[in-house]
């Protein structure tokens, strides 16, 4: 299939191009489009067979439902029952990188909801996404534009590398603004199911109530039950073994020094830590940004993880970041990319590296 590529300015979208893109969605096609978080692979949420095709293209388990993107609270209320107590708060925060789980009103098919009685809705803060949804006049179901388990596409190049020739259209509006997926809040329990760019502190400000944050939120535990089905599955993983180190960099270099026959490895972390590790070992490093700039680190995280696979090393080490603000989302994604494998001693590392 020839994939139609549309360049659309991210801030002042050309309405002719938006009309062409929405025509593709209305005809049942699959479209890859920018949002402020990551690129989405979307279809008319009311078209069951188009939604099924998204699962097939991603290799996504059918019990992992899709986020449904809307262009207004009214459109959200056409598919979900939003509790009255939260309506004002949602009006205050939308559009933004925050997804709410609410009771489904039965409009959406099983292909979208995974057979759950709830639905995930969000109004993206991206001019192209908003214009596209409102021009379509229907909600757009869209998970992140990546094969299941792989890092999300944060720019059109990555989306093209994953899906060119397999979808009807890819919109190129440059890099997504945040580069990390939306915050997911369950309205029933007021819990952060997945941390994202919109922080618990900001949610407290908008809703007058602090959402719950637990071990699953931090990516430290896997949920066996499908509270948020996404948390059941491994995610964001590179092909190369990736290990998390949480300690200071002086400690890390000391500990690596103590290991004989250390196989070639690469280090992923802040610019400051990369400099220290590369001076000590002359190894490859992937700098994500300056340590205090957590938004930049979040934005570069997936490209950094993907870059590891092109370095021809036996394993990668990624450093931990402060779990404050968007740092909560960064650490959730890092823990999943490492499948929970971390070390803090030479012994621990040697054991992990044993064949
Ligand atoms: P993504 O593939 O990055 O768009 O992720 C969508 C996320 O939203 C996944 O973690 C899903 O499991 C989650 N999600 C979607 N619908 C629901 C729902 N009804 N209840 C709980 N989590 C949901
Ligand atoms: Mg995803």
- Between 101 and 352, residue with greater pLDDT: 101
Confidence band, pLDDT 50/70/90 cuts, at residue 122: very high
Domain with CATH 3.90.870.10 in the chain: 4-207
pLDDT 10s digits, 152-205: 999 999 999 999 999 999 999 999 999 999 999 999 999 999 999 999 999 999
On the question of pLDDT at 51 being above 50, the answer is yes
Nearest CA to ligand 1 atom 2: 143
pLDDT 10s digits, 217-228: 777 766 554 456
pLDDT at residue 226 in the model: 47
Of 101, 111, 185, the one to substitute when testing ligand 1's pocket (max ligand atoms within 8 A of C-beta) is: 101
Is the separation of the CB atoms in 263 and 314 below 8 Å?
yes
Confidence band, pLDDT 50/70/90 cuts, at residue 215: confident
Q: How far is the CA of 193 from the centre of ligand 1 (A)?
A: 9
CB-side exposure of 176: number of CA atoms within 13 Å?
36
pLDDT 10s digits, 310-322: 999 999 999 999 9
Model-wide pTM > 0.75: yes
Is the separation of the CB atoms in 126 and 34 below 8 Å?
yes
Is the separation of the CB atoms in 140 and 42 below 8 Å?
yes
The pLDDT of 303-307, averaged and rounded, is: 96
Nearest CA to ligand 1 atom 12: 230
Q: How far is the CA of 282 from the centre of ligand 1 (A)?
A: 41
| Residues contacting ligand 1 via CB (< 6 Å) | 64-65, 67, 101, 113, 116, 118-120, 143-144, 181, 184, 193-194, 228-230
pLDDT at residue 319 in the model: 97
Quick one: which of 10, 204, 173, 13 has its CA closest to 98? 204
Q: How distant, in Å, are the alpha carbons of 30, 96, 252, 330 from that of 325?
A: 34, 15, 25, 9
Q: How far is the CA of 152 from the centre of ligand 2 (A)?
A: 6
Give the single-character DSSP code of 144.
B
Domain with CATH 3.40.50.11030 in the chain: 241-353
Distance CA 64, CA 39 (A): 18
Nearest CA to ligand 1 atom 10: 230
Q: How far is the CA of 285 from the centre of ligand 1 (A)?
A: 33
Question: CATH fold of 241-353, please?
Answer: Rossmann fold (3.40.50)
At the top level of CATH, the class of 4-207 is alpha beta
φ, ψ of residue 187 in degrees (nearest 5): -75, -30
pLDDT 10s digits, 224-274: 544 565 566 567 889 999 999 988 899 998 899 888 888 999 999 999 999
Residues 6+ apart with CB under 8 A from 131: 13, 15, 18
What percentage of the chain exceeds 90 in pLDDT?
83
φ, ψ of residue 57 in degrees (nearest 5): -65, -35
pLDDT at residue 223 in the model: 53
For 224, counting Cβ atoms within 10 Å of its Cβ (0-12 exposed, 13-18 middle, 19+ buried), the class is: exposed
Which residues are placed with Cβ below 5 angstroms of ligand 2, an ion?
Answer: 144
């Amino acid at each position: 299939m020839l994939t139609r590529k549309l360049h659309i300015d991210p801030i002042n979208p050309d309405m002719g191009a938006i009309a062409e893109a929405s025509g593709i969605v209305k005809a049942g096609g699959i479209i890859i489009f920018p949002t402020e978080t990551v690129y989405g692979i979307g279809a008319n949420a009311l078209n069951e067979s188009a939604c099924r095709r998204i699962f097939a293209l991603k290799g996504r388990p059918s019990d992992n439902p899709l986020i449904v993107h809307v262009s207004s609270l009214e459109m959200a209320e056409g598919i979900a029952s939003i509790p009255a107590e939260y309506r004002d708060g949602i009006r205050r925060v939308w559009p933004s990188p925050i997804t709410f789980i609410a009771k489904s009103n039965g409009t959406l098919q099983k292909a979208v909801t995974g057979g759950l009685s709830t639905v995930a809705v969000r109004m993206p803060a991206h001019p192209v996404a908003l214009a596209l949804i409102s021009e379509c006049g229907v909600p757009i179901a869209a998970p992140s534009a990546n094969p299941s388990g792989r890092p999300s596409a944060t720019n059109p190049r990555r989306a093209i590398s994953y899906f060119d020739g397999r979808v009807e259209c890819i919109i190129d509006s440059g890099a997504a603004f945040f580069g990390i997926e939306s915050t997911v809040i369950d309205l029933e329990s007021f819990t952060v199911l997945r941390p994202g760019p919109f922080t618990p502190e900001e949610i407290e400000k908008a809703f007058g109530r602090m959402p719950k944050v637990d071990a699953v939120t931090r990516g430290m535990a896997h949920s066996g039950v499908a509270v948020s089905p996404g948390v059941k599955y491994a995610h964001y993983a590179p092909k190369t073994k990736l290990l998390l180190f949480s300690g200071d960099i002086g400690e890390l270099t000391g500990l690596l020094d103590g290991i004989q026959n250390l196989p070639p490895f690469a280090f992923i972390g802040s610019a400051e830590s990369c400099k220290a590790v590369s001076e000590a070992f002359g190894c490859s490093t992937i700098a994500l940004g300056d340590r205090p700039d957590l938004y930049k680190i979040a934005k570069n995280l997936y490209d950094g993880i993907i870059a590891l696979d092109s370095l021809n090393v036996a394993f990668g080490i990624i450093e931990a970041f402060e779990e404050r603000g968007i740092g909560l989302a960064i650490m959730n994604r890092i823990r999943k990319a490492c499948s929970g494998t971390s070390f803090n001693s030479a012994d621990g590392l040697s054991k992990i590296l044993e064949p």
